[in-house]
A and B are shown apart, each in its own frame.
Chain A
Amino acid sequence: MSNWERLVWNQRGLLWQGLAVTIEVCAIAFAMAIVGGLLLCLVRMHVRPLRPVAIALIEFFRATPIFVQLMWVNYVWPELFGWPNTFFTAGWVALGLQSSGYLAETFRAGIEAVPRGHREAGYSVGMSPFQVYRRIVLPEMLLTVAPSIVNQFTVIVKSSTLVSVITVPDLMLQAMKLVNIWYEPIEVLTATAAIYIGFVFLVSTAGKALADYQRRRFGLNAA
Chain B
Amino acid sequence: MDAIPAIRVVDLRKNFGALEVLRGVSFDVHRGSVVSMIGASGSGKSTLLRCINRLETPSAGEVFIDGEPMGGPVTANGERKERPLSDINRMRRDLGMVFQQFNLWPHMTVIGNVIEAPLRVRRMKRKAAIALAEECLARVHLSEKGTEYPARLSGGQMQRVAIARALAMQPKAMLFDEPTSSLDPELTDEVLTVMRELAADGTTMIVVTHEMAFARDASDRVLFLHNGQIEEEGPPDQVFGAPKSERCRQFLSKKLQ
Contact = CB atoms under 8 A, between A and B. Distances in A.
A147 B79 CA distance: 52
Nearest to B100: A117
Nearest to B94: A126
A123 B120 contact: no
Interface stretch (A61-69, A132-140, A153-161): A132-140
Given A131-B120, A135-B120, A125 B105 contact: no
B40 interface: no
A220 B151 contact: yes
Interface string A118-149: 10111111111101000110011001000000
B90 interface: yes
A146 to B, nearest CB: 12
A82 interface: no
Interface string A192-223: 00000000000000000000000001111000
Given A125-B116, A218-B149, A117 B121 contact: no
A121 B93 contact: no
A124 B150 CA distance: 19
A124 B52 CA distance: 11
A120 B89 CA distance: 12
A219 B101 contact: no
B151 A129 contact: no
Contacts, number: 80
A126 B105 contact: no
Q: Most B CB atoms within 10 A — which of A124, A127, A217? A: A124
A13 interface: no
Given A115-B101, A117-B101, A218-B151, A125 B107 contact: no
Interface in A71-129: 115, 117-118, 120-129
Given A115-B103, A117-B103, A131-B120, A123 B149 contact: no
Given A131-B120, A220-B151, 17 more contacts: A120-B99, A121-B97, A121-B162, A124-B53, A124-B96, A125-B116, A125-B165, A125-B169, A126-B92, A127-B89, A127-B120, A131-B121, A140-B105, A218-B106, A218-B107, A218-B151, A220-B106
